[in-house]
Every structure is written in structure tokens, then in C-alpha cells.
Amino acid sequence: MSLDADPVKLNYAAHPAAIRRKKLWRQMKIDYQLYFIILLPFAWLLLFQYGPMYGLQLAFKDFHVFQGIWGSPWVGFKHFAKFFESYQFLSVVKNTILISLYELVAGFPIPIILALALNATLRTKFKQAVQFITYMPYFISTVVMVGIILQFLNPRIGIVNLALGHLGVDPINFMGDPSMFKSIYVWSGIWQHAGWGTIIYLAALSGISQEIHEAATIDGASRMQRIWNVDLPGIAPTITTLLILNMGHIMGIGFEKIYLMQNPLNIASSEVISTYVYSVSLASSAPNYSYATAIGFFNSFINLFLIMTVNQIAKKVGETSLW
Amino acid sequence: MKETKLRLSRADKIFYYCNDLLLLLALLIVLYPLIYIFSASFSGREAVVTGKVFLWPVDFSLEGYEAVFRDPRIVIGYMNTLFYTVAGTLINITLTIMAAYPLSRKTMVGRNIIMYLFAFTMLFNGGLIPNYLLIKNLHMIDTRWAMLLPAGLSVFNVIIARTFYQTTISQELYEAAAIDGCSHVKFIWHIVMPLSKAITAVLVLFYGVYHWNSYFNAFIYLKSDSLYPLQIVLRDILVQNNIDPSTITDPESMMRKQGLADLVKYSIVVVASLPVWLVYPFVQKHFVKGVMIGSIKG
């Protein structure tokens, strides 16, 4: 049916918004099946992702089991204040930021260097072998990874201490020393993820036109010069994007690996926000759900704020941004 | 190839030499611990404890592996993990395709809003306690559902699939099918699925490895030994150091028992990681592809 046959056509001409609405409505009718298809995943999203956000109100309430989330009384910012004033606040936030920064400074450049080296080598088979092997640790689960760390650093039978023993060094209790914790956490992470981290850069490097390399070679550029002046500028947008992402996660250190590596001896340097939330709630004999929710909320809010800010800065400074 | 090699300048020769040396170093740093674990797991207990193992198994023995499979917790954990991985991945794939396909259709009114609602959860979430209370209120604590439903889909994977559908399944293709009376549901089943086997493989791999390796949900939501996945059992043994005394049948000194306990850990690491590593050589390319598609801004 064409528009000309529509008797109210004149009215539409006077109201472009109405036409638009009508058009949208017609399109929605045509595509109604799409809405049915997405209904199930969307319901999942509302229940399991937005459902917990409803529970965030607990951060401003005193949770009582029998009154439930909705019925518990409001207390304002009491739990936030308690967290900011607690003696753990500074050390927990400090540990969180220090570990992330350490990870960023030590761990961010390594995949880039590795990718540039992989991209430059002339030995194809060797390149494939290095890729194959260095990707492997990525598939080790966190539990097994921490198991390996504990086993290797074991003061009695760990290979590190056995090797040190041959050099005449007394066994070191690595996991019991708070000053070692951050290094062990970060460098084991680099061992596990550096290879996998090259993939994204290798993809960007393969997108650089071969002609630029040829032109540079003809102009007498050495391979090293081509890395600096062709390869690196070529992957600069990728580097910026990943840097933004990483900076946005500076307060978002994950629970799993840290928690598994914690013990009473290293807790001073290993307690981060996510593990602290767990220790005052589910792990506690006197769990304080509201307090834990408030800390978690504070952390999520900071993370959101950070990533938005960093993204805004990136938009202003360069052309790259996440969205 | 030979010609280029001949034309290499002195500076470039040194560069390539150093470059390959760097890569070799990286290779060895990653490879050595893996070889050591493997060799230790096949060695005798004394050799492991006294540091005789350096590169190859010393006093070859399978007692570590025998002890692993004598431990009933590991067998139960293995079976549970197998179930969670298969059932969980099936749910994941279904939900992911059901979300990604509609969001890939440019004609869909409101798809940007829906996409935004999905993407927002990557930046912000309720946190530990609200999630726990939700699962509790749904009466899913200590049930298998707690392992399957909260991890129903990953928004990141939805974006990967959506990007793929957007670029490979054109609107014209659908319109042609629609003229022949094909509905969206039929179109997904008969056209989209066969055309996107590559991306489905990537999704299966990502989700499968996630389920095989994850321990957090089990750690928070499960309480019964009979429901525990492998990773929780591994945590008990590797991190908490709880060795089942019944697996150590040797009536010998504590020292020797401890030696077996040390050895068993290496065997367990191999047993737990083996399934993924056995599949890995065949699917490495798919993983890499997934990461690359994921890196394209959707």
C-alpha cells in the first residue's frame, strides 16, 4: 500500500514527527520476530546484570535478613563513612592501586616488544613456534597457576629455592614475605599473559602496508629504524586504546588470583578492595552485607568514573577512543 | 628469500640476530616451567623433593598419577566440570546467538538502546553481595543452576558475534530469504548458523575454556562436595594443601608421605590442564581469530 492511497496523508505532511513515528512503528511490526528472539537474553540481562544493581541500595541501608533488601531501613552514607574512616581504607586502596600500576608499568610494554620482535623475524617456523608456546600459559586456570607459583616458590621443595640452594643461598619463604608479594603477582601474570597479549598487536602490525616498508628500505632505513618509524606509528592507535582500557581498570583488580595467593603472613601487602569486600562479608563470622556492598559500590563507581574520564581525555588528545 | 638475505646490511644482520635471540629467550622463559612441571610429574618422589629433576623425568614413575586418580574428589570434580562445561556452553551459545543476531540487524528499531544496556554491564555491575543475595533469593545457592545461569552469556562475546554477523550476513540476504517466506528464526537456523560456523567455533572455545577454568561462582555459591567442579578440588589440594590421606596408602614415614603429596601436585597440574592443551593445537587459529574480531570496534 503506497502513501498516496492514505487518506490522512495531508496531516502527515504537516507533522514530520508523526511520519517518523509511523515509519518506526511499521518497521517494528515488520521486525517483530527480532524482539521475540532477543527477549530471552534480554530477560537474562535484566535479571542477572541489572538485578544486582537493584541490590546496590543496600549500600545506603542497614541490611536485616528478615526485612529483605527493600524493607531494611535507610542509613544514608553511614557505611561509606565507616569505610573511609577505617584504618584499612588507606592500605587496601594503596595495595589495589600499587599492584595495578606495577602491572601496567611492567606488563604493558612487554607484549608490544614481543609482537614487534615476532613481526620482524625472518624465520617463519621459529615465529610460529614462539607464538604456539607463549600462548599456552594463557589457558592455565587461575587455581592451577597459583598452585604452580606456590609449588615453585616452596621453601622446601620449590625449584627456585632448590636452585638457590645450589648457589649456597638459604631457602627464602617468598610467599610469607609481604615485600615480595606484588612482584610475584605481577611477574607470574606477565609470564602467563604476555604471549597472548601479542595477538592484538600482531593483527595491527599485519595491517601495515608492505609498500611503506619497501619505500623505507629503498630510502636506506635499517630494520630497527623501520620498527621505530613504520611499525610503532602503525600500531599506535591500538596501543592507545589498550592503554585507555588498562588505565580504566586501575582500581578494578580481580579477586580470584589475589585471594588464592593470600596468606596471613603477606596480607599486609596483598589485601585489595575486592578481597576486603569478601573478608568482611561472606568470609566473616559476623558478616556485614551493607558495609561490603558500600565498599563494592564505591569501587565500581570509581572504575566507571575512571574509564569515562580516561576515554574523554583520549578523545581530546588523539582521535582514538573506546566509544 | 636468499636475495634479501644477501642484501642485508651489517646493522640489519646484527638486528636480526639480536631479535631472534630475544624471541628465543621469551620462548625458553615460558617453556622451561612447563617442561619442569611435566617432567616432575613423571618422576620419583625423592627426585622431586631433593631437586634432582632439572629437565627430564628422573626415576621415571607414575605414582603421582596413580595417586591423583585414587582421589575420589578429583574424579567427582572432573565429572562435574565436564557437565558444567557442556551444559553451560550450550546455554551460552544459545543466548549469545539470540542476542547477537537481532542486534546485528540495522533495521531493528531501538537496537542502539538495547546494545547500550548490554554494553553498560561491562563497565558497571552490582558487586559481590548484591549478586550473592540475588542468587540466594532465587533459591539457587548450592544448586547446579548457580553454575549455569549467572554466567549465562558474556557481553564481550555477544559483541564479537554481532560484529561478525554485521559484516558477513547482509540485509539483502535476509530480504531475499524473506521474499521466499523465510522467518528470522528459520533464517538463523538455515542460513546464519551454517554461514557462521567459524564464529560459533570461537564462541564455543571461549565459553568452554571459561567454564573449565572458572572457580569463582562455585566458590561463592556452592557448598556440597558432590557439586564441586574440578577447580575447587584443585584449590583444596594445590593451595589449601588438603591431601586426602586415603590416597596415600604407603604405611611409611611422614617424610615419604609428604614426598608423595609434593609429587601429586605436579601430576594434578598436568591432569587439570591437559584437556585444554590437547585441544589447543587444533584450535589455536580460532582463538586468535576471536581475539582479532573482538578488537574491532562494533
Is A192 found in the same domain as A60? no
Out of A65, A87, A114, pick the residue that ends a domain. Answer: A65
Is A96 found in the same domain as A37? no
Chain A residues whose CB is inside 8 A of the B130 CB are: 51-56, 58, 293, 296
As averages over each run of 10 residues, the pLDDT of chain A (323 residues) reads 48 71 85 91 95 91 84 88 92 93 94 94 92 91 92 87 87 90 95 92 88 88 87 88 83 88 91 93 89 93 89 74 61
Percentage of residues in chain B having pLDDT higher than 90? 40
Residue pairs spanning A and B at CB distance below 8 A: 269
Tell me which residue in B129, B185, B276 faces A281 most closely, judged by beta carbons. Answer: B129
**Element holding A11 (H helix, E strand):** helix A9-14
Average pLDDT, chain B: 86
pLDDT at A84: 93
Tell me which residue in B11, B30, B152 faces A48 most closely, judged by beta carbons. Answer: B152
Residue A189: what residue type? Answer: G
Does the CB of A245 have a partner CB in chain B at under 8 Å? no
Structural domain includes residue A322: no
CB contact under 8 A, A159 and B34: no
pLDDT at A249: 82
Out of A32, A65, A98, pick the residue that ends a domain. Answer: A65
DSSP letter, residue B62:
-
pLDDT at B242: 67
Percentage of residues in chain B having pLDDT higher than 70? 90
Chain A residues whose CB is inside 8 A of the B220 CB are: 282
Out of A43, A65, A87, pick the residue that ends a domain. Answer: A65
A 152-211 residues inside an 8 A Cβ radius of B: 152, 154, 156-157, 159, 162-163, 165-166, 191, 194-196, 199-200, 203
pLDDT at B3: 45
pLDDT at B248: 53
Number of domains in chain A: 2
Is this prediction's pTM over 0.95?
Answer: no
- Residue in B187, B186, B189 with CA at minimum distance from that of residue B171: B187
CA atoms of A162 and B182, how far apart (whole Å):
68
* Residues A199, B283, B264, B48, CA torsion sign: negative
pLDDT at A143: 93
Is A177 found in the same domain as A82? yes
> What is the mean predicted confidence (pLDDT) over B191-206?
88
Q: What pairs with residue A74 in β-bridges?
A: A61
Structural domain includes residue A115: yes
Structural domain includes residue A323: no
How close A57 comes to chain B (CA, Å)? 9
Is A28 found in the same domain as A162? no
CA atoms of B29 and A258, how far apart (whole Å):
23
Residue A160 and residue B252 in contact, taking contact as beta carbons nearer than 8 Å: no
Chain A residues whose CB is inside 8 A of the B119 CB are: 323
CB contact under 8 A, B268 and A69: no
* pLDDT tens-digit map of B87-146: 999 999 999 999 999 999 888 888 899 999 999 998 888 889 999 999 999 999 999 999
A 73-102 residues inside an 8 A Cβ radius of B: none
Is A88 found in the same domain as A43? no
> What is the mean predicted confidence (pLDDT) over B264-270?
89
Q: Where are the domains of chain B?
A: 2-69+244-295, 72-227
Structural domain includes residue A238: yes
* pLDDT tens-digit map of B5-56: 556 788 888 989 999 999 999 999 999 999 999 998 898 887 787 777 888 8
Cell of residue A277, nine digits = 569486600
Structural domain includes residue A72: no
pLDDT at A189: 95
CB contact under 8 A, B27 and A134: yes
Is A252 found in the same domain as A222? yes
Chain A residues whose CB is inside 8 A of the B158 CB are: 41
Closest A-chain CA to B259? A157
Superfamily of domain B72-227: MetI-like (1.10.3720.10)
Query: Left if phi > 0, otherwise alpha if psi is -120 to 50, otherwise beta: which for A209?
Result: beta
Is A86 found in the same domain as A58? no
CATH code of the domain covering residue A200:
1.10.3720.10
* pLDDT tens-digit map of A109-168: 999 999 999 999 999 999 999 999 999 999 899 999 999 999 899 888 888 988 888 888
- DSSP for A79-102? HHHHHHHSTHHHHHHHHHHHHHHH
Chain A residues whose CB is inside 8 A of the B23 CB are: 114, 117-118, 121, 126-127, 130
> What is the mean predicted confidence (pLDDT) over B72-97?
94
- Helical axes A109-120 vs A88-107, angle rounded to 10°: 10
Chain A residues whose CB is inside 8 A of the B30 CB are: 133-134, 136-137, 191, 195
Does the CB of A13 have a partner CB in chain B at under 8 Å? no
Cell of residue B92, nine digits = 551460552
Is A197 found in the same domain as A111? yes
Closest A-chain CA to B235? A143
How close B69 comes to chain A (CA, Å)? 17
A202 is in which domain, residue-wise? 78-317
Closest A-chain CA to B27? A130
Chain B residues whose CB is inside 8 A of the A135 CB are: 284, 287
Residue A310 and residue A244 in contact, taking contact as beta carbons nearer than 8 Å: yes
